[in-house]
Amino acid sequence: MADSEKGLYILLFSIHGLVRSQNIEMGRNADTGGQVTYVLELAEQLSLRPEVERVDLFTRQIRDKQFSEDYSQPIEPISEKARIVRIPCGGGRYIRKELLWPHLDEFIDKTLKFIKREDLDPYLVHGHYADAGYVAMHLASLFGVPFVFTGHSLGKVKQEKLLEEGLNQEEINRKYHMEDRIHTEDNIVGCADLVVASTQQEVKNQYGKYEHYSVPRYLVNPPGLDIKRFSPYYDEEHTDDMAKQARDTLQVELNRFFITPDKPLILSLSRPDKRKNVASLIQAYGESKELQAIANLAVFLGIRKDILSMEENERDVLIETLLLMDKYDLYGKIAIPKKHDFTHEVPELYCIAASRRGVFVNPALTEPFGLTLLESGACGLPIVATKDGGPEDIIKNCNNGILVDVSDPVNISQAVKKILIDEELWKTYSRNGIDKVRSYYTWSAHIDRYLEKIIDLKSHSIEKQLSIPGTGPVARRMIHLNKIIICDIDNTLTGDPESLKELIALLKKNSRHIGFGVATGRSIDSALEHLAENGIPIPDVIVTSVGTEIYYQNRNNRDNGWSRHIRQKWDKETIRRLMATLPFVKKQDPETEREFKISYYMEPSKDHLAQIHDLLTRNRCRYQLIYSHQKYLDLLPQRASKGKAIRYLSYKWEIPLENFLVAGDSGNDEEMLRGEPHGVVVGNFSKEMDVLRGKRRVYFSPRKYAGGVIDGMSHYKFLES
């Protein structure tokens, strides 16, 4: 953890990218809901506290002509001590959050690079929504700091609702990658030190559906509200010129829809999402002639230019809205504006509706919290909302409206009518909303509870699960290294116990700034066992299975970014089937096979190698072939090898390749010895290494085994600063 005198450096993650500190595009699409407001205000409010040194809100950088250039700026200040940090991954175009999963490991790697360049010392990592939870979970593990998670919405709950709506499981998985999301959420819940939820119902009925529900601590901490922005509808004293201008603009915009503009106003404000159930509100209004006579209806469904160019979900909701308006002949009674400005116009919308003695309706089928209910309540606008989720707590605390079963439109219309026709009830709900939102839902109280809880997090479950004696947080170690020595194990490190002891002593003496790694054909379990047998200390980096797997310190800390990188176009089953047709190769023991490695025995023959290349190339296989010790044949993904793994490590941890010293003895070490690293071939090398003689930065040592590594270090003056 950070030194308390320096203050806390808190990392927040909200990955989808449509996050900016000004002119928030609320409701533009499914990624721009209340979570955007929440994380921005959380970052700003945390940064105001003296014990907090800095808050960085990490999101994806978007460089897309269809979106504002604001989303492409690498750094955007929120306040003096808070900023938005945009990390590029998955290209520049906007990608909806359900499709971001393949790019999250790239996001992790580039976030590490950013933290190293800025020389930052994280105290805590907090992920918002499942994708950011995945990123935060891995970063917290790497840095050995507490991991906090806020789901905002959870996959199991969403899946149940989608099944109820008639979608089948296959369609849900195709569109929302739901199985992967739910599996990830279960891992997140099992690893989190603290889960922040808005309501007790969310903890029990939503997180309670997950296998690891009982693992983390929970903090029920409802979002705060910016009371300065959402002031009572009658409070002209706090209405500046910009707010007055926004109110006048909205009045004109709304009035052009209505035949009788002075009626009370029923207001709804949400994203165009089927789960928001806006169709039931329009049906409730359309089927009640009495309600149409009493009030007008205004439905704000985000920002749109051309409905036909929108995503399928948003497009379907908007088309259904227009068709229902036509079905019930609501022209002159309903407003469906195309846009609104969140910062200045939304507070004025609530005030306009309140000044017209109206009602705010949130008809969502399920609502984890319901920030719009707080906003409208703070302005003095009574509410009607779903019985499911967060609104139960809000009504319990504020008593400023009515909860209904929104699956039946009649329930909605009856509740709205009840408030509109009873003047005393309207006044009671209005007054309660103004007073009690300010009592229960302030940012000051939210931050007090948050800081008290996170400062109490002394250690976290991930570190306990992943660490073993003698190891520490990976990232804290790796980002401070400026050099690394990586050696093959068999016949390079091992073979001469005396020179190995000498090498281990040198590594320990220089361990502060020089890392130690191994690169081997062995599996991770075999490598760790063999290292222990020979008294070799736990390496910082373990590259196993001929470069197809990378681990840090132990078998649990696998580099998922590398695995995802090499998986592309790897068709293991096809390669295995084709190799079975060759009579001169013999499959190795099944235990040697890994996800990205197929191993055979083969006698040395240039013709045989040529036949393998011809067979696999003709069948359009993408592969890497490694032949070593005149008998071992390994087939790997095209992107994998020991050498490529070392280049990946150089990229990920920003350690120049020329600051690597690599040592080996056989053909499966050949590629990692080429290029920019300082290469050492130990004296007991296999004959296939002769191809490296005369190559730049490849030193053939006369000493054998670990003695050759020591000699190579001396040759390159590698221990000198």
d(CA 85, CA 120): 13
Closest listed residue to residue 330, CA positions, set 259, 276, 271? 259
d(CA 375, CA 349): 10
**pLDDT classification of 1: cutoffs 50, 70, 90:** very low
Q: Outline where DSSP puts E strands in 572-639.
A: 586-587, 598-601, 624-628, 632-636
Q: Is 174 left (phi over 0), alpha (psi -120 to 50) or beta?
A: alpha
Same domain, 520 and 598: no
Same domain, 250 and 126: no
The token pair at 609 is 């190698």
Q: Would 169 be classed as within a structural domain?
A: no
Same domain, 431 and 483: no
Winning range, highest mean pLDDT, from 2-6, 270-274, 308-312 = 270-274
- How does pLDDT run across 664-704, given as a tens digit for each residue? 999 888 889 988 999 999 999 998 899 999 888 999 999 99
d(CA 206, CA 367): 11
C-beta of residue 667 within 8 angstroms of C-beta of residue 686: yes
Domain boundary among 393, 423, 441: 441
Q: Would 677 be classed as within a structural domain?
A: yes
Amino acid at 9: Y
**pTM, whole model, 2 decimals?**
0.79
Same domain, 307 and 416: yes
Q: Would 509 be classed as within a structural domain?
A: yes
**How many CB atoms are located within 10 Å of the residue 346 CB?**
25
Lowest pLDDT segment from 200-204, 325-329, 545-549: 200-204
The mean predicted confidence, pLDDT, of the chain is 91
Number of domains the chain is built from:
4
d(CA 685, CA 682): 6
Mean pLDDT to the nearest integer, 246-265: 91
**How many CB atoms are located within 10 Å of the residue 657 CB?**
16
Q: Would 56 be classed as within a structural domain?
A: yes
Q: Would 215 be classed as within a structural domain?
A: yes
**How many CB atoms are located within 10 Å of the residue 173 CB?**
15
**pLDDT score of 592 more than 90:** no
Q: Would 446 be classed as within a structural domain?
A: no
C-beta of residue 403 within 8 angstroms of C-beta of residue 386: yes
Name the residue range of residue 618's domain.
Answer: 569-638
Q: Would 351 be classed as within a structural domain?
A: yes
The token pair at 626 is 């490694």
**pLDDT score of 612 more than 80:** yes
pLDDT at 466: 40
CATH of the domain at 670: 3.40.50.1000
**DSSP class of residue 569?**
T
Same domain, 486 and 602: no
Mean pLDDT to the nearest integer, 190-218: 92
Same domain, 554 and 579: no
**pLDDT classification of 2: cutoffs 50, 70, 90:** very low
Same domain, 489 and 342: no
- How does pLDDT run across 533-545, given as a tens digit for each residue? 999 999 999 999 9
Q: Outline where DSSP puts E strands in 475-597.
A: 483-487, 514-519, 541-544, 549-551, 586-587
Sequence-ordered list of residues with C-beta below 8 angstroms from that of 148, at least 6 positions apart, any chain: 124, 125, 126, 127, 136, 192, 193, 194, 195, 196, 454
- How does pLDDT run across 329-388, given as a tens digit for each residue? 999 999 998 876 666 788 999 999 999 999 999 999 888 788 899 999 999 999 999 998
Same domain, 532 and 575: no
Same domain, 554 and 578: no
CATH of the domain at 135: 3.40.50.2000
Q: Hey, which residues does 698 pair with through a beta bridge?
A: 679
CATH of the domain at 618: 3.90.1070.10
- Helices 104-118, 130-143: axis angle to 10 degrees equals 50
Question: Using alpha carbons only, what angle is made at residue 667 by residues 662 and 671, rounded to the nearest 5 degrees?
Answer: 50
- How does pLDDT run across 41-85, given as a tens digit for each residue? 999 999 999 999 999 999 999 999 999 999 999 999 999 999 999
Same domain, 31 and 67: yes
**pLDDT classification of 461: cutoffs 50, 70, 90:** very low
d(CA 447, CA 457): 15
Q: Outline where DSSP puts E strands in 48-162.
A: 52-60, 75-79, 82-87, 124-128, 147-150
d(CA 549, CA 134): 20
For the chain, the distance separating the N- and C-terminal CA atoms, rounded to the nearest angstrom, is 29
pLDDT at 4: 45
Same domain, 573 and 684: no
Domain boundary among 195, 220, 245: 220
Same domain, 374 and 482: no
Q: Would 575 be classed as within a structural domain?
A: yes
Mean pLDDT to the nearest integer, 396-403: 96
